Amino acid sequence: MNIFQDANRKQIAGRRRTDWLLHMLFVIATSIGVLALCALIIDILIDGIVRLQPDLFNNFPSRKADGSGMKSALVGTIYMLLIMAPISFIFGVGAAIYLEEYAKKGRLTRLIQLNISTLAGVPSIVYGILGLALFVRLLALDRSLIAGALTMTLLVLPIIIVAAQEAIRAVPRSRRDASFALGATKWQTVSRSVMPSALPGVLTGVILAMSRAIGETAPLVMIGALTYVAFLPDGLRDSFTVIPIQVYNWLSKPQIEFKELAASGIIVLLVLLLLMNFSAILLRNKYQKNV
Amino acid sequence: MSRQGLKTMDQAQTVNKELYEFKNKRVSIMNKLMPVLLLLCASVSILTTFGIVVTLITETYHFFKVIPIFDFLFGTKWSPLIPPKSFGVLPLLSGTLLITVIACLVAIPLGLASAIYLSEYAPKRVRKIIKPILEVLAGVPTIVYGYFALSLITPMIQSVFGSAGVFNALSAGIVVGIMIIPMVSSLSEDAMSAVPRSLRDGAYALGATRFEVALKIVVPAAFSGIVASAVLAFSRAIGETMIVTLAAGSTPNMTINPLDSIQTMTAYIVQVSLGDTPHGSIEYGSIFAVGMTLFVITFLLNIFAQYIARKFREEY
């Protein structure tokens, strides 16, 4: 009897030890991801903080690293956001409303839905190829701000549609029923009862999609956003550059000074992203309190 | 009430009625018009797919009229810019595969372990902090990762392996792997959280320890979701562009040595579009042929992931 008990105890102790070991292993694995993020941020801060001066925001890029700035890239990024935000909002939210409120469960709806989830998985550079063929060549928009903004709109649309669909789906049925009971039409119900209630969630999704867009480099390289732009874009048809492309340009130069400039450009980009994500979180928290 | 008063009331009623009818008409027009407009919005997504497919097919078709498709698919030399020109895609494919395999070797174990930790071990408070931090990794722009690879990972690799060049597949692969950790961890964790509590409780009641519950109950039950997340991460790594452009170099090389410089499909597309390639030239066409290859591979993988997630899901 005693022998069995001992064997049993030994076996349990062994299993406990394995449990503890694996626990540690999982903790270590998880912390590697977190540490990588910390290393990345610290590395960039150390390299870039010296160049984070007024020159960076006030000057155009130049051949010499000293006094070189990214004014045109910063302005280009903001212009691109201003153009694509309304377009992608209208089309993205429109599509989401259609799919959630109007579409009958059928073949077409399933096709659109499947199509959206597939588009979300298409590599961003493929959107660049589409932009190059469609906007730059076919519509002859050239390597312009509008061509870039439209390409990026197509890229973020699936993200916005999915987020907006979730927000609309979260609106309780009773709200719609109440509106119908008051004699409202379908569109009145959607526009005055459902959408106001879904709006914070929708906006959160739009902001997150925009933050994805300002970090994208590859599609804009494809459609030929220029790497050296020493002027501010004046109209939709002007050539332009954005922060990630300016960073890429600096990174491809061998001198160490340009590497520092690239790091400081990255800091600006990350701060911009942080602000956008922070506002999205604020919106979401406010929204969660209200429901 | 005076006659005058009655008349104005009458008038007011008519005006009111007209106004009402006018408003009603507008309301009903809106009600009929909006679904059509909204359907148009929704069809943009279909048109996008259509645009991608048509563009890729037409340009690739022109390309294959000059370069036989067989030479493209099975050629082992990719030298599109320097004569003698040769358009065999295998070096680009092998470069892409090398990066992707390294990335998955990093991301799948780490991501899966993180998912198990977050779903089975971590206290609620820890999970609430760690999960968003890991997800930040997916939101960092790829150009930033490219910088990270060049400035930190590559020097580290060079100090360990003296033979490694400035551009090597290992550095790019590791960083791509870090980038896709959250894809594996988040999607796997979602799948594990969906496993009902009662299954775990049953195992605990039989005296199982936590790792036994995690590895023998939860992971098998969530297996379809875990595999789907790994396939999606794989597909994401194939399509990744800026990290490999910056850190892996631009030498189309058929090699399995991770310390060598290679070129991926995506990096080639960037390289050509950075140069001023004239429209209609064979180099220009090659972007589309390579893009088509990339699109088909990622598309099939994504469909495959969706299929696994649906088909093999355990229903409770």
A244 neighbourhood in chain B, CB within 8 Å: 141, 143, 242
* Of A138-147, B97-106, B302-311, highest mean pLDDT: B97-106
**Same domain membership, residue A93 and residue A10:** no
Closest CA to B288 of B301, B302, B300, B273: B273
Residue A4 pLDDT: 67
Q: What is the C-alpha to C-alpha distance for residues B303 and B307, in angstroms, rounded to an integer?
A: 6
**Same domain membership, residue A123 and residue A219:** yes
At B269-301, the pLDDT tens digits run 998 888 777 777 888 889 999 999 999 999 999
Residue B316 pLDDT: 66
Please check whether residue A280 is in contact with residue A204, taking contact to mean a CB–CB distance below 8 angstroms: yes
Residue B205 pLDDT: 94
Please check whether residue B60 is in contact with residue B289, taking contact to mean a CB–CB distance below 8 angstroms: yes
**Same domain membership, residue A161 and residue A144:** yes
Shortest CA gap B2–chain A (Å): 36
CB contact under 8 A, A118 and B49: yes
- Helix/strand/coil for B79: strand
Tally of structural domains, chain A: 2
Whose tokens are 């494919």? That residue is B93
Q: In Å, what is the CA distance from B72 to each residue of B255, B270, B278?
A: 18, 19, 21
At B125-134, the pLDDT tens digits run 998 899 888 8
For helices B3-66 and A124-131, give the axis angle rounded to 10 degrees: 100
**Same domain membership, residue A158 and residue A31:** no
Pick from B45, B55, B240: which is nearest to A130 by CB?
B55
CB contact under 8 A, A15 and B212: yes
A217 neighbourhood in chain B, CB within 8 Å: 141-143, 241-242
Residue A216 forms contact with B (CB below 8 Å): yes
B207: left (phi over 0), alpha (psi -120 to 50) or beta: left
A253: left (phi over 0), alpha (psi -120 to 50) or beta: beta
**Same domain membership, residue A120 and residue A213:** yes
pTM of the model: 0.89
**Same domain membership, residue A156 and residue A28:** no
CB contact under 8 A, A25 and B113: yes
Our measurement of the distance from residue B81's CA atom to the centroid of its chain's CA atoms, rounded to an integer in Å, reads 30
Residue B220 pLDDT: 92
Q: Which of B23, B38, B153, B243 to mutate to test the interface with A (most CBs of A within 10 A)?
A: B38
**Same domain membership, residue A132 and residue A73:** yes
**Given CA atoms B199, B204, B208, B212 in this order, what sign does their dihedral have?**
positive
**Same domain membership, residue A140 and residue A47:** no
Region B199-223: mean pLDDT is 92
- Helix/strand/coil for B169: helix
A97 neighbourhood in chain B, CB within 8 Å: 38, 41
DSSP string, chain A: -HHHHHHHHHHHHHHHHHHHHHHHHHHHHHHHHHHHHHHHHHHHHHHHGGG-SHHHHHS---SSSTT---HHHHHHHHHHHHHHHHHHHHHHHHHHHIIIII--SSHHHHHHHHHHHHHTTS-HHHHHHHHIIIIIIIS---S-HHHHHHHHHHHHHHHHHHHHHHHHHTS-HHHHHHHHHTT--HHHHIIIIIHHHHHHHHHHHHHHHHHHHHH--HHHHHTT--S---S---STTS----HHHHHHHHHTS-SHHHHHHHHHHHHHHHHHHHHHHHHHHHHHHHHHHH-
Across the A:B interface, residue pairs with CB atoms under 8 Å apart total 255
CB contact under 8 A, A29 and B279: no
At B81-95, the pLDDT tens digits run 777 788 888 999 999
**Same domain membership, residue A173 and residue A33:** no
**Same domain membership, residue A73 and residue A30:** no
CATH number at residue A128: 1.10.3720.10
The parts of chain A modelled with pLDDT lower than 70 are 1-4, 226-227, 288-291
User: What is the domain extent for residue A212?
Assistant: 54-290
| pLDDT band at residue B6 under the 50/70/90 scheme | low
Q: Which of A12, A20, A125, A202 to mutate to test the interface with B (most CBs of B within 10 A)?
A: A125
Q: Please calculate the CA angle A225-A230-A233 and round it to the nearest 5 degrees.
A: 60
Question: Facing residues of B79 across strands?
Answer: B86
- Helix/strand/coil for B27: helix
**Same domain membership, residue A21 and residue A79:** no
A272 neighbourhood in chain B, CB within 8 Å: none
For residue A199 the two structure tokens come to 């709006």
Our measurement of the distance from residue B48's CA atom to the centroid of its chain's CA atoms, rounded to an integer in Å, reads 17
Residues 12-41 (A) with a CB less than 8 A from some CB of B? 15-16, 18-19, 22-23, 25-27, 29-30, 32-34, 36-37, 39-40
Radius of gyration of chain A (CA): 25
Residue B238 pLDDT: 95
Residue B258 confidence (pLDDT) above 70:
yes
Residue B1 pLDDT: 47
With CA atoms as reference, the chain B residue closest to A95 would be B42
CB contact under 8 A, B144 and A224: no
Shortest CA gap A59–chain B (Å): 22
Cα-based torsion angle of the residue sequence B90, B95, B96, B102 in order, rounded to the nearest 10 degrees:
140
Cα-based torsion angle of the residue sequence A267, A231, A148, A265 in order, rounded to the nearest 10 degrees:
-10
At A189-222, the pLDDT tens digits run 999 999 999 998 899 999 999 999 999 989 998 8
Q: What is the C-alpha to C-alpha distance for residues B267 and B91, in angstroms, rounded to an integer?
A: 12
B27 neighbourhood in chain A, CB within 8 Å: 185, 187-188
State the ipTM, two decimals: 0.90
Q: Please calculate the CA angle B183-B187-B172 and round it to the nearest 5 degrees.
A: 15
The DSSP H or E segment spanning B168 is: none
**Same domain membership, residue A64 and residue A40:** no
With CA atoms as reference, the chain B residue closest to A32 would be B110
Residue A73 forms contact with B (CB below 8 Å): no
Residue A150 pLDDT: 93
Q: What is the C-alpha to C-alpha distance for residues B38 and A96, in angstroms, rounded to an integer?
A: 8
Residue B314 pLDDT: 66
With CA atoms as reference, the chain B residue closest to A96 would be B42
